[in-house]
Amino acid sequence: MEECLASFQKYLEIVYRLNDYSMRRNLIINTLKAVFVFCFVGAEQPQQNDAQSFPVEISVYDGQGSLLIDWTFPETILPNQFKLFVKESGQVDFELLAVLPPDQTKYLDLNCDPNIRYFYKLEIEDMFGELVLSDILTPAFGTCLPVEDSLAFKSTINSMDELVLFEIKLKATLQNPDLNFDSILGLFSTDKNAEHAWFETIRVEQLKQLELPLQLLDDIIQNESLMTDLSSYELLMRNHLFLGPDSWEDELVKTVTDLKVQWNKLYDVYPFVLKRLDSIAPIRLVGYHIDDEYEKNLECVIFHPEQLSSSEIFLLSGEEYIDLGDHLMENKSNIMVPIPKHWNTVDLMMDNIFIQSVPTLFEISVRFTLEGDIIPLDTTNLIKVGRIPTELWLNELTWDPYQRHLRLEITGETDFEEQYSININEEPIWDIEPMSGFGIQFRDSSLTVSDEIEFPILVTFLSHGNETSSTIEYLLLDSLPMAINRIPDGGTWQYSESTTLGMTNEPVEEYFKTDLLPELFVLYQNYPNPFNGQTRISFDLLDDATVTLYITDATGRIHDKFMEREFMTSGSYHYNWQGEGRSTGIYFFTIHAQVDNRPPAIFSRKMIYLK
């Protein structure tokens, strides 16, 4: 008894060193059970043998060319290691087959001959050094079966999912050996949104060529014979997947059912993927790369090469530009273009048509998503549709550069596990605390950015967990006013003419009646745009207000002011602006309107001047 209690005390000293509270608690409870059995119950009986007989159950499952040994034991036994022994029929003594760790309760024996019976016993050494044996008087036994078709066995298959996909591909290849099904079947290995999976997993040039293999795979997956044919693999593959007869059937049904659900989502969304692909510009900027020597490169993806044959494609920054014609001659779907270090903003132009504008002042590499997010660079995916979904997300932002006033809204579930924060130029400004309530909640915060922080200003949304931090997305603030929100909540960023901070962004009528940002005007896109001489700027003023209207370039420098804090009555107004004598590039026209002492309404539009 004293020796047993001393061992227990020593064991507790080890347990209390564990950092994981849940693991420590479970070990203590199970240890107390074991102490009761060994120290108290065992103390009432004479100790005749070091090894005690406990209900250790061994099952042996026959398979083609293999035997699977599976064992269970009471939870009061805390194993330190397992020793598995084997003997053939007619053999007197058991021989050691394997020494196994305490978390392994199955063993695959491939060293067996058909028509020979093999017997197995298990020896458990527990945490106290005590030995527990399986039944050695009537030991479990099995006989492996002959392998009927050695070519049918695939040693690379390690799960039921892999087996099901192997069979689907085999059937498809037999029906049409000229088609490649790997790219489509690869979609099953991702947990992405179905539409995102198509764009982010399959190369652009392949997306429009998948109608035939897609239909063939659908016929195979929906056919009831798939389950029957997969069942025929049981004796050959069951043991290799470490499954018993009952668990094999359950796992097979579950895997096929889950696969069909996932497949139906992928199959149904494919027409919408093609429709979205057609709506994407012929070429887009998808990535910004910067190396250790601060050399900058922009990564472009060609979505529709047939639309570029007679087009002029170039990158524009201020008065400087790079002609992409030579790069496009390489006939690649993606190209990497070096850009000057001093370029901070780049516009992608095609035949004088503005396609895309991206910031290029990051000191880290980033990815530009199709939905307009700026996220950390993921080298495994050339194209990203949007940000990675998280429990919380940045849902709305308004920025007044004149007052340097920033307002942010965070939206998401109340029971999020990770911690989240928002930084400005790597300095934390908002550590987000857990939110009360049920379902989706909204929380907003406002702050004034110090005048000492120069433009552009980098806003970073981060998540924190397990002593690591990861960036979810980036936003840039400059000298231009900005009001953006995700519509619907959690959707894509869109420019907003009203604010719904602290509430849903869904277009509910009463939200637009808020006094936070009155709807005072309608600012129209200039015409023509792009222009090479004169363009016209128009707006409707819906109420009498104090108005400022001005022109800035991409750096925020003001070029012209049509009016500054001038009182104007409601009505329609039109102004002409001359681009002569100015640099080719992107310009913005911004209106700032205010009624009485209410917050001002600010809105900007982009225009392009080409010499």
Same domain, yes or no, for 501 and 593? no
CA-to-CA dists, residue 284 to 163, 194, 377, angstroms: 39, 22, 16
In a domain, 385, yes or no: no
- The Cα–Cα gap between 167 and 158 comes to 14
pLDDT at 260: 96
Give kind and range of the element (H or E) at residue 376.
strand 374-376
- The Cα–Cα gap between 530 and 539 comes to 19
Beta-bridged to residue 107, according to DSSP, are 69
pLDDT per position as a tens digit, 108-157 = 999 999 989 999 999 999 999 999 999 988 999 999 999 988 777 888 89
Same domain, yes or no, for 160 and 122? no
Percent of the chain scoring above 70 in pLDDT? 87
- List the CATH number of the domain containing 556: 2.60.40.2550
pLDDT at 44 over 50: no
Same domain, yes or no, for 240 and 352? no
The number of domains in the chain is: 6
pLDDT at 495 over 90: no
**Type of residue at 91:** Q
Q: Judging by DSSP bridges, how do beta strands 140-142 and 296-302 pair with one another?
A: unpaired
pLDDT at 15: 47
In a domain, 314, yes or no: yes
Beta-bridged to residue 447, according to DSSP, are 406
In a domain, 488, yes or no: yes
Taking the CB of residue 550, how many other CB atoms lie within 10 A of it?
17
Same domain, yes or no, for 568 and 482? no
Buried b / exposed e across 44-56, counting CB within 10 Å, b at 16+? eeeeeeeebebeb
pLDDT at 193 over 70: yes
In a domain, 382, yes or no: no
Same domain, yes or no, for 100 and 172? no
> How long a stretch of residues is the chain?
611
In a domain, 386, yes or no: no
CA-to-CA dists, residue 1 to 27, 273, 426, angstroms: 21, 72, 61
Q: Cα-flanking dihedrals φ and ψ of residue 193, to 5°? A: -50, 140
User: What is the pTM assigned to this prediction?
Assistant: 0.74
Lowest mean pLDDT among 20-29, 70-79, 210-219: 20-29
CA-to-CA dists, residue 504 to 54, 444, 485, 486, 489, angstroms: 61, 11, 10, 10, 7
Q: Cα-flanking dihedrals φ and ψ of residue 397, to 5°? A: -150, 135
Of the candidates 279, 300, 317, which is a domain's last residue?
Answer: 279
In a domain, 304, yes or no: yes
- The Cα–Cα gap between 87 and 501 comes to 74
Give kind and range of the element (H or E) at residue 57.
strand 57-63
pLDDT at 294 over 70: yes
- Whether the CB-CB separation of 497 and 593 falls below 8 Å is answered with no
Same domain, yes or no, for 490 and 537? no
The mean pLDDT of 196-200, rounded to a whole number, is 94
- The Cα–Cα gap between 249 and 268 comes to 29
pLDDT per position as a tens digit, 553-593 = 776 678 888 998 899 999 999 999 988 878 888 888 988 88
In a domain, 147, yes or no: no
- List the CATH number of the domain containing 80: 2.60.40.10
Q: Give the domain extent around 329.
A: 283-376
3-class secondary-structure state, position 494? strand
Of the candidates 142, 163, 181, which is a domain's last residue?
Answer: 142
Same domain, yes or no, for 227 and 337? no
- List the CATH number of the domain containing 348: 2.60.40
Q: Judging by DSSP bridges, how do beta strands 131-133 and 51-53 pair with one another?
A: parallel
Taking the CB of residue 461, how many other CB atoms lie within 10 A of it?
23
Taking the CB of residue 539, how many other CB atoms lie within 10 A of it?
22
